[in-house]
Chain A
Amino acid sequence: MLGTARGKPWNPYVAGALAGLLLVASLYASGKYFGASTTFVRAAGMLEQTVAAERVAQMPYFMKEMPKVDWQWMFVVGIVLGSCVASLASGTFRIQAVPDRFAARFGPSVLRRSGVAFAGGVVAMFGARLADGCPSGHGLSGTLQLAASGYVALVCFFLGGVVVARLLYGKGR
């Protein structure tokens, strides 16, 4: 796929600069900054509402981040759609349950990869909510506004990530 011009990856500087312009245009149009992790709180609240609506209504965190569809919620849905369209159009869509690098190190077990991904998701989202943002909210929107919290968070994201990635993969491959 990488050999064909159609599926060749875009230059990250050009794509990154376009994303920067998109962010500015979006701020101008709707007054909203990029972010993603709050959406997972709202979605979790919406799911919990289906079994325990009264309890959700009384939980302080769901009062702060109401379980409803908002700008960011649709932004995250849009990322799924945009990626789907782009991958289909470029011939890079691929159903894959175990990434190549993971398979090379830990074997092709779908169950193992799913378990690690699930556990990683739990830990990552707990951390993101504790930090009040993820690589979008802190890493992009925070740092570009010169927010002190954005820089502290971004350094910590990478620090935690580098240490655990090393533990998983060692120094070499």
Chain B
Amino acid sequence: MDLIFGLITGILFGILLQRSEVIRYDRQLGALLLQDMTIVKFMLTTVLVGMVGVYFLVDLGLAKLSIKPLILGGTVLGGLTFGAGWALLGYCPGTSGGALGEGRLDALAGILGMLVGAALFAESYPLLKATVLTWGDYGKVTLPQLMDQHHWVLIPWFCLLGYVLLRWLHKRGL
């Protein structure tokens, strides 16, 4: 059942990604060159709607949070490394599949590369786990915990900040 839900969710997400063109190389590079903020608009709206909905479900006891740990060594170095590769590839792991689906064959080279990257990481994992992945380990921490505020105090502020950012992008014609 899990697998069918995954497939259906993926199909619907793929339709949304394709029809809003956020899976295009030109759009992804456009965002990284700060010229075309389509993917930022898409992501930010998804996050704000998701934030309200997910915390609503969690508070009703209908879902659980799944927080990834903040390990500065891994999150920062891995994040920067990912970004560098993302600019070369022009697709992220999720959108590369979407790009392939709409006929972009270069995404296939990227997917093969990502499989190799995953294999290389699996080889390096024991070493990294003992070194980089121990640097600055803060555990599974959330912003409400760090700021000592209830999440419903923070969420409206995030929505407001998101709205201001989107308006600013809109005004600048990005």
Interface residues of B (CB under 8 A from A): 1-26, 29-30, 32-34, 38-39, 41-51, 53-54, 56-57, 62-72, 74-107, 109-126, 128-129, 132-133, 138, 140-144, 146, 151, 154-155, 158, 166
Contact = CB atoms under 8 A, between A and B. Distances in A.
Interface in A37-93: 37, 39-41, 43-45, 47-48, 59-62, 64, 69-87, 90, 92-93
Contacts of A61: 121-122, 125
A127 B9 contact: no
Interface residues of A, number: 126
Given A23-B53, A73-B6, A74-B3, 12 more contacts: A19-B42, A30-B2, A78-B10, A80-B100, A94-B104, A116-B88, A117-B88, A122-B120, A127-B84, A142-B68, A146-B154, A161-B32
A89 B144 CA distance: 43
B12 A82 contact: yes
B153 to A, nearest CB: 11
Contacts of A73: 3, 6
Contacts of A151: 143
User: Which A-B residue pairs are the 10 nearest by beta carbons?
Assistant: A78-B10, A160-B83, A82-B14, A121-B113, A156-B79, A20-B49, A120-B88, A124-B85, A131-B78, A130-B78
